[in-house]
Amino acid sequence: MADPEELYRISADKSILFVEDDSILRQSAEIMFKELFSLVDTAADGHEALTAYQNYYARHRCYYDIVITDIKMPRMNGIELTSELYQIHKEQHIIIVSAHDDSEYLIELINLGVNSFIQKPFSTQNMIDKIYDVCLDIEHRDDDRGNIHIQGNYVWCHHAKCMLHNDQEIKLTKNEKRLLYLLFSDPLMTFKSHELFEFINNDTEEEFNTNSLKSLIKRLRKKIPNDLIENIYAEGYKINSDLLS
């Protein structure tokens, strides 16, 4: 949980653009953000946000420190907006607000380069914790932010796409790394089997094969805590968040 004083210390000089088509949520979030950031702008959809982004650069000759955007919006959705922003500024820090059934969109966003997600409905504390992580990442791009600690002295290094155990790297195949990368991109999200398969094999034309995916997960479970990857009946797979520390 983020310490309020420490959060304010690293957020007070930063700017944020919050994009949300729900006017009530947008206004309430704006009030919270103004307690943390030096400048807060909001937009009701991706088109409006892109205009605000370009205008901000024209005025300040720099980009927003953080952009937080919903996925499903009129005129221009969060995926289209994210793609546009990365074309303008590939190092832009973006937090995606997603619903529990947005896994197909998350895969597309991960492929674009997004690695910060928060699920609806989110609490104030959830949002503050996510902002704290991103602010730290802005200040310390080369430290271990993005590392996820797992019971049993395991660590998933999300940016490096590697798993450590007792500070030693576990040898993983390319497909095992891609599988974990997607699952850890949003540990609360349940990904459908075909979504995992397509993400892992995105550079091939291999047709979906449930037995191939099951075999991959079976082999991977021998290298990591066996119950780290949960099989949710009739839904798919997710990270067992009870093991995260």
Express each pLDDT in 6-51 by its tens digit.
788 888 889 999 999 999 999 999 999 999 999 999 999 999 999 9
Rounded mean pLDDT, 41-70: 93
pLDDT one-digit tens code per residue, 191-225: 999 999 988 887 677 788 899 999 999 999 999 99
User: Within this chain, do residues 163 and 98 fall inside the same structural domain, yes or no?
Assistant: no
Question: Hey, what's the torsion of the CAs at 235, 117, 151, 210, to 10 degrees?
Answer: 30
Looking at 139, 174, 200, the residue that finishes a domain is 139
User: Within this chain, do residues 28 and 85 fall inside the same structural domain, yes or no?
Assistant: yes
Looking at 112, 139, 166, the residue that finishes a domain is 139
User: Within this chain, do residues 17 and 101 fall inside the same structural domain, yes or no?
Assistant: yes
User: Within this chain, do residues 76 and 171 fall inside the same structural domain, yes or no?
Assistant: no
| Dihedral (CA of 164, 104, 186, 14) sign | positive
Split into its structural domains, the chain has a count of: 2
Rounded mean pLDDT, 98-109: 82
Looking at 139, 168, 192, the residue that finishes a domain is 139
**CA–CA separation, 241 vs 121, rounded Å?**
18
| 123 vs 109, higher pLDDT | 109
| CATH assignment of the domain containing 222 | 1.10.10.10
User: Within this chain, do residues 94 and 157 fall inside the same structural domain, yes or no?
Assistant: no
**CA–CA separation, 162 vs 179, rounded Å?**
11
Q: Percentage of the chain surpassing pLDDT 90?
A: 60
- Which two tokens mark 52? 């605000």
User: Within this chain, do residues 191 and 118 fall inside the same structural domain, yes or no?
Assistant: no
The per-residue pLDDT for 142 is 43
**φ, ψ dihedrals at 98, nearest 5°:** -125, 155
The per-residue pLDDT for 93 is 94
| Long-range Cβ pairs for the range 195-202 (8 Å, 24+) | 195/103, 195/104, 195/107, 195/236, 196/236, 196/237, 198/107, 199/107, 199/110, 199/111, 200/175, 201/175, 202/111
| 210 vs 121, higher pLDDT | 210
User: Within this chain, do residues 135 and 151 fall inside the same structural domain, yes or no?
Assistant: no
User: Within this chain, do residues 11 and 110 fall inside the same structural domain, yes or no?
Assistant: yes
Which amino acid, residue 195? E
Lowest mean pLDDT among 104-118, 127-141, 226-240: 127-141
Q: ∠ CA(7), CA(110), CA(84), 5° rounding?
A: 85
Note the pTM of the prediction, 2 decimals: 0.71
The per-residue pLDDT for 203 is 66
- Give the residue numbers spanning the domain of 72: 4-139
| CATH assignment of the domain containing 127 | 3.40.50.2300
User: Within this chain, do residues 19 and 120 fall inside the same structural domain, yes or no?
Assistant: yes
**pLDDT over 80 (residue 102):** no
Rounded mean pLDDT, 127-140: 85
29-52 burial, b at 16+ Cβ within 10 Å, e below that, comes to beeebeebbeebbbbbbbbbbbeb
**pLDDT over 60 (residue 144):** no
User: Within this chain, do residues 20 and 43 fall inside the same structural domain, yes or no?
Assistant: yes
User: Within this chain, do residues 127 and 204 fall inside the same structural domain, yes or no?
Assistant: no
| 208 vs 156, higher pLDDT | 156
